[in-house]
Structure 1
Amino acid sequence: MGLNYTGDVTPGGPAAVRELVGLTVTKLAVDPKMANNCYLLRCTKTGAQLLIDAADDAPALLELTGGEIDTVVTTHQHWDHHRALAEIAAVTRPMVVAGRPDAEAITEQTGVAVSRRVGDGDTVKVGAIELEVIAIAGHTPGSICLLHRTPDGGTHLWTGDSLFPGGVGATFGDRDAFATLIDQVETKIFGALPDDTWFYPGHGGDSTLGAERPHLAEWRARGW
């Protein structure tokens, strides 16, 4: 299963499933207007499940997960990435994880307490699988990415809205925020990870760092 995975999903359409060594990745798009991506990571050894961004459509997410979620990670504080968090948390009572600088805003917006506030160097587990936290400021102060290194040498990165195919996330005309974001994406992601790293963004299709690396100077020059 997942041999033909491309990362192309549409709201209202089926989920895409990818089988990694020890980890099943299921990608579901929700909300036709915002087209947010939600990612369910399942440890094949233990059955533990972690959801990245309870963005919308709690019934679909609960159906996808079988109503059992051990952890929900919210990649950043923007409203479109946590609209289903309150309903998901009420049903499944997961550990709720977010970047330290965004945690209070997420709680204010959702009414859900953040169980664990994380930053650079922290890890988040889903069963026997360990995910490394990479804090990337700029899109929001507390945006985080999650990195998984597979036993067979693969590298997989969930980037929220910090990195997309074609550029970094929006900084809404704030030049200082853009400078921070492009610097941190360049150093913490492109400067630290190999070209074959597959990344999964908060909206739209996936890509690899190798496909995007040649365009870094172009992104910096255009300012978005």
Structure 2
Amino acid sequence: MAKQLDYHTIYEIFSRFAEAEPEPKGELDHTNAYTLVVAVALSAQATDVGVNKATAKLFKIVDTPQKMLDLGLDGLTEHIKTIGLFRQKAKNVMKLSEILVRDYDGEVPSSRAALQSLPGVGRKTANVVLNMWWGMPAQAVDTHIFRFGNRSGVCPGKDVVVVERAIEDQIPAEFQRHAHHWMILHGRYTCKARKPLCGTCLIRDLCEFEEKNL
């Protein structure tokens, strides 16, 4: 774990991220808040690419909780059978769809607590939805952010909750909205787990990673 970077260094890091990609986007395909919830729930222990392939046909016929209930468990299972843990995920999606129809008039709530009360929706999923759909500065810490935060010193922490707090505490307010997307994309494509591309990294001179490669 790297030492915590100072405010000015973190500000420079995110200034560079913002200049390189002013409006970073999540890579999960969706058409509305409901399909975003479903996509993120399906993405646990799966790749965005794999989820997008599975939902390409699904979201053309299902874009509301009621339509999901009409499709039924067997129909959903058939669409997502290429995704890891698909049987349990299918059950969770059906249950959360039922709750949304019954308790929320078919609408996705904009409250973290309400989102986390849905089956298969944890804190990370809730934060992704709050950030991507409602534009809230919620921080969804995944493996890419956890790795980047600890390597670089931007937001080090022993677990995802500590890293999430470090993001909220250490990253300047003006960068909070897009912070998690910048870090996810940087971790996914540059600060990779096995072979980080330090030689082409735009923040190499600011990063605390001791094993930088050329």
Under a length normalisation based on structure 2, what TM-score does the superposition of the two structures give? 0.27
User: Which structure features the higher share of helix residues?
Assistant: 2
**Larger RCO (CA under 8 A, 6+ residues apart):** 2
User: Which structure features the higher share of strand residues?
Assistant: 1
Under a length normalisation based on structure 1, what TM-score does the superposition of the two structures give? 0.27
Q: Could you say which structure has the larger radius of gyration?
A: 2
